[in-house]
Amino acid sequence: MKFSTIKFELNGKPVEIEVPPAMRLLDILRETFKLTGTKEGCGIGECGACTVLLNGQAVASCLLLAGQLEGTKITTIEGLVHDERMNLLQRNFLECGAVQCGFCTPGMLLSAYALLQKDARPTTDDIKNAIAGNLCRCTGYKQIIQAIQKSTESLSDPDQ
């Protein structure tokens, strides 16, 4: 097995790893860095459980290979632990009952976060479109959409 040296930024810190260039980002995160908040669902880019941010955009980490990471900025759910906007989303997910088994939650939160970073006041359709690539099989989407909506309203409400 051939190995390559890959340099990129992970959760705000520069990292350098020695891995096979066809190793998936998903496996690098979970196995090399033990960041297990990123989940594997389908492995073919359909379910969104492995969503991370690449240069601020939501992407499927199961479809990214180590060789494609050079010079990129990767953010996982762990990297936003102290982020105000992420904390607000998390609180609203809890309050709205948008978490049942929790497997889809990290990916769902990151898709919602990427949307709000781009557009602080999205419409319901924008929200649905942004999370169309995140499958949830137990909570139901209604609570999730409500939680994201609530996060947009409170963000733009100066009294909160």
Partner 1 sequence: MIQDIDFYRPGSLEELLTFLKDHGSNVKIIAGGTDIVPGLRQKASRFSHVKTLADIQHLHELKTIEISDGHLSIGSCATFSQIEANALIRKHFPLLSCAAGLIGSTQIRNRATIAGNVVNNAPCADSVPPLLVYDAIVCVRSHREDYTVPLNELLLKPYQTRLNADEVLTGFRLPVLADGYRGEFYKLGRRRGVSISRISLAVLMQLQGGSIQDFRVASGAITPVSVRLSGIEEYARDRKAGSELFAQLAQQLGNEIIKITGMRWSTPYKLPVVQQMFYQILMKLNDESVTG
Q: Which residues bind partner 1 (CB under 8 A)?
A: 1-2, 4, 20-24, 43-46, 48, 51, 54, 57-60, 62-68, 70-71, 111, 114, 128-130, 132-134
As measured in angstroms, the least distance from the Cβ of 111 to partner 1 is 7
Task: Name the residue nearer to partner 1 (CB basis): 56 or 95.
Answer: 56
Task: Name the residue nearer to partner 1 (CB basis): 57 or 154.
Answer: 57
As measured in angstroms, the least distance from the Cβ of 73 to partner 1 is 13
As measured in angstroms, the least distance from the Cβ of 72 to partner 1 is 9
Write the burial class of residue 50 (CB in 10 Å: 0-12 exposed, 13-18 middle, 19+ buried).
buried
Residue 116 belongs to what H/E stretch?
helix 105-118
**CA dist., res. 32 & res. 27, Å (int):** 7
**CA dist., res. 75 & res. 58, Å (int):** 9
CA 71, chain centre distance (Å): 19
